[in-house]
Each structure stands twice: as structure tokens, then as C-alpha cells.
């Protein structure tokens, strides 16, 4: 084993945020050690479960083409990609977080997103077009919806992890698996100088000049979910890794770090109901179980009542908060009702599911034991503003009149058999409560001072996401602040 005093930077965690930190620190000349609690075959946390879409500001198609050199001319000719301005994304973050996002951190996230994507490309990461969920067909072309994710890490979240590991391994960065950080080591002056870990041989101290905490939130800690997210959240199924149990948050709070952000907030969406009941600890399908095409359906609870505006905004800006509404329903479930008109548009996780189908609404109601369904659908159908043209590429204003809650956009009568019902429950992706940092990714203590030698990024960073997030923002956040944290930690 190496002399542990030789490490300049210890990175705790091995997901997207950690790997970006490690690569960045190494590039600045630091000797870096990555600590991963999981075994090698389950490494990389939620990164591996993610779709891999990454948000960033860009100037539209010409810039996207630069990042996707593999595209053929025919493929490029089929793409319509509107620009995504930095101001536009910043304003959207402020809108969805109800103006609570830390403006300084949000500004860094947005402004650095484009240079960080380019940096990742320079490191060797390859991207592919992010099509499903982001595009609508326009003749023989694909149009990207405004402010939607345009690029994906090649191979999705798993591809992102594999590629970042290949880059880190290629640089000779050491990773220790089955090695859990349990405590942050500080000297008498309060400077962080390493971590205590637990591995198969027991507890040991590993020292370093700086530590980057990138070991995720507490979504997989049943007790903390109940404690911070509230009653009932202990029963909710994590959609991703079971290793993110809040260890880094606990360790940092123990040495006086300041909590920041939305500690009762979380990214949670509709997933297959039966998968939402699988006992914790077993792997579920990640994005394969996702059921979030709200704009194409109505959702009813077991009493047959609608309870949310399924067309409030593009799903990329609402899906991460819509899981919580399911938890409030009887049995914590709902049925998403579609008709044959929209069935061909069901992508992402839906093709993996088996809907209950029927030729009449009455028959469907009987099959799913929701007697009030025909009345709810009749009221919904009567309320649709059919004189407004349907257009999935914009918030089309084709809503409902006179029903509560409304469906504000993309409302269509449910009138074409066969009818489909998908049972959905809540799945939690990650938590929003984190640590206070400055724009250099340094962790701040309860008195507003920097904790020397301590940095954080990714899910552990508090202060940007409140209520919900903007699609592709999780990976962007980890990469942007990971790059910053790694470079600054190396400077220690």
C-alpha cells in the first residue's frame, strides 16, 4: 500500500461529480485518491442509473455539431436545435426554484456549463444526441424543444461512468473500492487533512492536503428520508444507488459545516407502481421504470380524482417534483390514462411496462377498480379547448376550462380506443439538502468561514435545487463544481 501521506487530494465517492473532481485535480498536478464505498461492479452511484443527459448553454446546431463530430451530414440536416442561452437557463432555474436558488452558485453553474462540456470533450468523453424526451418530429426532422437537453454522455449514465473511469485510470488515478469514508480528519487549527476510512481490514486514517466530498445525498437512507423529507418518505423506493446514505453530509456537519438548500426537498418522479414496492436494497430499473409522460395523459388516484396539472410545463421542468404528489394519494398510487391516439408516442420507460387495456372507458374503470373514472374522463373531455392547435414543441396553451386542477397545455380528449392505464408510484432519485459552499466549491462553516481544505460538489452541494430541478442539471452541476473543486483542492 502507498504511503497515505503522499496524496494531495482525496475524493470521496466515485460518481460523475467525484470523477470530474479527480480528473481536474490530477490535471493540476495533484496526486489523487478516489474512495468508493461500493464494490467495483456497483461503483459510480446514481451516475450509473442516470440517463446521462447534460444541460448546458449553447448557441444551437453549429455548436452542437462541434461536440458531436460523429454525426453524418444527413443526420445534421435532420436536426433543428434552437440555442439555449445562459440567461434563459438561469432564469428558468430561478423560476422552477421559486427564486430560492443561490444566485451566485446558479450563475457559476450556468456560465461554466458550456466550458465544462468542452473540457469533458477534451478529456476524451464522447457525447451523443439526446433525442428521447427532448424532441418532437417535424416532417422528416427532429426539433429540440426549447431549453431541453441536447447532448447525452455516450452510453448514458453507465457510459459516462465507464468513460470517466477510463480517463481517470488512464491518468493513473488510484481508486479504492469497498472503502467507506467515515470521518473527516482535522488538525487543531481546523484544517482538513484527510479522512478516516473503513475497509475490509478495519478502520484507518488516510491523510491528504485537501478532501473533496462527492459522495451523494441521503436518498438511500430510510431513516434520514423520514427525518428530513417527512412522514411516508421512508417508504419511498430509491430509483438509483443504495450507497448514498448521507455519509458525507453527516461527516461534514460533524465538523461544523453549514447545511444549505432544501433539506426537505428531493428529486422524485412517477415510476412503475409495482417497482415502487420492490424492497429496498434490490436493484430496480432506474430510467427503465420511469413513467413521466404527464403531458400525454391524465392521472387519477384510486378514487378517480385528478390531483395535478399534467400539462403545467414541459415535463423536464416538473417531473422531479411530481413524484411527491403521488405519495399524497390513497395507497401512494395513481393511474395514468392514455388513449390510442397518443400510445405510439410513449417512449422512455413505458415500452418496458404492461398497461391494463380496454376497449371502453367503462371496461377500463372496472379492470382498475376505479368506478369514478368514466365521470372524470367525461368532465375532462368536455373541458378541452379544442379550438387551440395542439403543438408539443411549445407550451401550446391548449388547456382545459372549468375543471380543477386544470391541464394547462397539450390537453386532448381521451376518446380513442383502446384505452391504456399504467399504475404509478413514487420513486426518489436524489435529495436536495446539502452543504453551503462558495463559488470556489469550498465548504463554509456555520459562522460563514471557509473550512480550509474541504470542498464539495454534486448531490452534496446545497443551495441550487429547491422544489425541483431542470432536466440534465444534476450531471451538469456535479461536473461544473467537480471541475472547480478538483482544481482548487489541487491548489492546496
Ligand X SMILES: Cc1cc2nc3c(=O)[nH]c(=O)nc-3n(C[C@H](O)[C@H](O)[C@H](O)COP(=O)(O)OP(=O)(O)OC[C@H]3O[C@@H](n4cnc5c(N)ncnc54)[C@H](O)[C@@H]3O)c2cc1C
Whether 330 contacts 300, CB under 8 Å: no
Q: Does 434 bind ligand X (CB under 6 A)?
A: no
Whether 117 contacts 152, CB under 8 Å: no
User: What distance in Å separates the CA atoms of residue 313 and residue 290, rounded to the nearest whole number?
Assistant: 18
Region binding ligand X by CB under 6 A among candidate stretches 42-50, 102-110, 329-337, 397-405 = 42-50
Task: Please state at what angle helix 473-491 crosses helix 16-27, rounded to 10 degrees.
Answer: 30
Q: How far is the CB of 385 from ligand X (least distance, A)?
A: 33
Q: Does 102 bind ligand X (CB under 6 A)?
A: no
Among 35, 211, 236, 260, binds ligand X (CB under 6 A): 35
Applying CB under 6 A, the site for ligand X has a residue count of 43
User: What distance in Å separates the CA atoms of residue 69 and residue 293, rounded to the nearest whole number?
Assistant: 31
Quickly count: other Cβ atoms within 10 Å of residue 363's Cβ. 16
Q: How far is the CB of 283 from ligand X (least distance, A)?
A: 11
Q: Does 272 bind ligand X (CB under 6 A)?
A: no
Region binding ligand X by CB under 6 A among candidate stretches 34-42, 323-331, 368-376, 439-447 = 34-42
Q: Which is nearer to ligand X, 191 or 250 (CB)?
A: 250
Q: Which is nearer to ligand X, 40 or 341 (CB)?
A: 40
Among 425, 458, 462, 463, binds ligand X (CB under 6 A): 458
Q: Does 243 bind ligand X (CB under 6 A)?
A: yes
Q: What share of the chain is helix, strand, coil (3-state, %, to 5)?
A: 35, 25, 40
Q: Does 292 bind ligand X (CB under 6 A)?
A: no
Region binding ligand X by CB under 6 A among candidate stretches 77-85, 239-247, 334-342, 385-393 = 239-247
Q: Does 129 bind ligand X (CB under 6 A)?
A: no
The pattern of x and - marking residues 203 through 222 that bind ligand X according to CB under 6 A reads: -----------xxx------
Q: How far is the CB of 286 from ligand X (least distance, A)?
A: 4
Q: How far is the CB of 208 from ligand X (least distance, A)?
A: 14
Query: In sequence order, what are the beta bridge partners of 194?
Result: 185, 207
Q: Considering only CA atoms, which of 145, 470, 150 is closest in space to residue 318?
A: 470
The beta strands (E) that lie in 92-168 are given as 127-129, 135-138, 141-144, 151-153
Q: How far is the CB of 248 from ligand X (least distance, A)?
A: 6
Q: How far is the CB of 157 from ligand X (least distance, A)?
A: 6
Q: How far is the CB of 201 from ligand X (least distance, A)?
A: 16
Among 286, 353, 423, 462, binds ligand X (CB under 6 A): 286
Whether 275 contacts 478, CB under 8 Å: no
User: What distance in Å separates the CA atoms of residue 410 and residue 395, rounded to the nearest whole number?
Assistant: 8
Q: Does 12 bind ligand X (CB under 6 A)?
A: yes
Residue 382 vs residues 36, 109, 298, 345, 375: alpha-carbon distances, Å: 55, 44, 14, 23, 11
Among 10, 45, 185, 488, binds ligand X (CB under 6 A): 45
Q: Does 13 bind ligand X (CB under 6 A)?
A: yes
Quickly count: other Cβ atoms within 10 Å of residue 29's Cβ. 9
Q: How far is the CB of 129 from ligand X (least distance, A)?
A: 14
DSSP alpha helix (H) spans, 229-336: 247-254, 315-327
Q: How far is the CB of 309 from ligand X (least distance, A)?
A: 23
State CA 5 to chain mean position distance.
Answer: 35
The conformational region for residue 309 under phi > 0 = left, psi -120 to 50 = alpha, else beta, is beta
Q: Which is nearer to ligand X, 265 or 399 (CB)?
A: 265
Q: Is 480 helix (H, G, I), strand (E, B) or coil?
A: helix
Among 9, 15, 306, 485, binds ligand X (CB under 6 A): 15
432-455: string of b/e by CB count within 10 Å (b at 16+)? bbbbbbeeebbbbbeeeeebbbbb
Q: How far is the CB of 271 from ligand X (least distance, A)?
A: 9
Q: Does 442 bind ligand X (CB under 6 A)?
A: no
User: What distance in Å separates the CA atoms of residue 404 and residue 393, rounded to the nearest whole number?
Assistant: 25
Among 180, 193, 266, 306, binds ligand X (CB under 6 A): 180
Q: How far is the CB of 306 from ligand X (least distance, A)?
A: 26
Q: Does 473 bind ligand X (CB under 6 A)?
A: yes
Give the residues lining the site for ligand X (CB under 6 A).
12-18, 35-38, 43-47, 49-53, 180-181, 214-216, 239-241, 243-244, 247, 286-287, 429-430, 458-459, 472-475, 478
Amino acid at each position: 500500500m502507498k504511503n497515505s501521506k503522499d496524496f494531495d487530494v482525496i475524493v470521496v465517492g466515485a460518481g460523475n461529480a467525484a470523477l470530474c473532481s479527480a480528473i481536474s485535480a490530477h490535471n493540476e498536478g495533484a496526486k489523487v485518491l478516489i474512495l468508493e464505498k461500493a464494490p467495483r461492479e456497483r461503483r459510480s452511484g446514481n451516475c450509473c442509473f442516470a440517463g446521462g443527459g447534460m444541460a448546458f448553454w449553447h448557441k444551437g446546431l453549429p455548436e452542437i455539431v462541434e461536440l458531436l463530430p460523429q454525426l453524418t451530414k444527413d443526420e445534421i440536416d435532420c436536426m433543428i436545435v434552437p440555442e439555449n442561452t445562459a440567461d434563459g437557463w438561469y432564469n428558468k432555474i430561478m423560476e422552477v426554484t421559486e427564486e430560492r436558488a443561490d444566485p451566485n452558485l446558479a450563475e457559476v453553474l450556468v456560465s461554466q456549463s458550456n466550458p465544462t462540456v468542452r473540457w469533458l470533450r477534451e478529456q476524451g468523453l464522447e457525447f451523443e444526441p439526446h433525442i428521447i424526451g427532448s424532441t418532437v418530429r417535424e416532417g422528416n426532422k427532429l426539433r429540440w424543444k426549447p431549453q431541453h437537453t441536447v447532448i447525452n454522455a455516450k452510453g448514458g449514465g453507465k457510459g459516462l461512468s465507464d468513460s470517466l473511469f477510463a480517463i481517470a485510470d488512464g491518468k493513473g488515478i488510484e481508486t479504492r473500492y469497498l472503502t467507506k469514508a467515515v470521518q473527516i480528519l482535522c488538525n487543531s487549527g481546523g484544517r482538513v487533512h484527510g479522512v478516516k476510512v473503513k475497509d475490509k481490514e478495519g478502520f484507518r486514517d488516510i491523510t491528504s492536503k485537501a478532501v473533496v466530498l462527492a459522495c451523494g445525498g441521503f436518498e438511500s437512507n430510510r431513516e434520514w428520508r423520514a427525518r428530513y423529507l417527512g412522514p411516508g418518505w421512508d417508504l419511498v423506493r430509491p430509483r438509483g444507488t443504495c450507497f448514498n446514505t448521507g455519509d458525507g453530509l453527516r461527516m461534514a456537519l460533524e465538523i461544523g459545516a453549514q447545511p444549505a438548500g432544501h433539506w426537505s426537498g428531493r428529486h422524485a418522479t412517477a415510476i412503475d407502481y409495482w417497482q415502487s414496492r420492490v424492497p429496498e436494497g434490490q436493484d430496480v430499473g432506474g430510467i427503465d421504470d420511469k413513467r413521466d409522460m404527464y403531458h400525454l395523459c391524465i392521472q387519477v388516484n384510486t378514487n378517480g380524482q385528478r390531483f395535478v396539472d399534467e400539462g403545467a410545463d414541459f415535463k423536464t421542468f416538473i417531473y422531479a417534483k411530481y413524484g411527491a404528489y403521488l405519495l399524497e394519494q390513497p395507497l401512494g398510487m395513481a393511474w395514468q390514462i392514455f388513449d390510442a391516439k397518443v400510445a405510439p408516442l410513449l417512449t422512455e420507460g413505458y415500452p418496458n411496462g404492461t398497461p391494463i387495456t380496454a376497449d371502453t372507458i367503462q371496461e377500463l374503470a372496472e379492470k382498475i377498480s376505479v368506478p369514478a373514472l368514466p365521470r372524470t374522463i367525461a368532465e375532462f373531455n368536455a373541458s378541452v379547448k379544442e379550438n387551440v392547435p395542439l403543438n408539443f414543441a411549445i407550451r401550446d396553451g391548449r388547456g382545459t376550462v372549468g375543471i380543477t386542477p386544470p391541464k394547462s397545455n397539450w390537453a386532448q380528449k381521451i376518446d380513442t380506443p383502446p384505452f391504456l392505464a399504467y399504475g404509478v408510484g413514487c420513486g426518489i432519485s436524489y435529495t436536495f439538502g446539502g452543504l453551503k459552499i462558495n463559488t470556489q466549491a469550498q465548504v463554509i462553516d456555520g459562522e460563514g468561514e471557509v473550512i480550509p481544505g474541504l470542498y464539495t460538489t454534486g448531490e452534496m452541494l446545497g443551495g441550487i435545487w429547491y422544489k425541483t430541478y431542470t432536466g440534465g442539471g444534476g450531471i451538469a452541476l456535479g461536473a461544473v463544481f467537480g471541475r472547480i473543486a478538483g482544481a482548487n483542492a489541487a491548489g492546496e
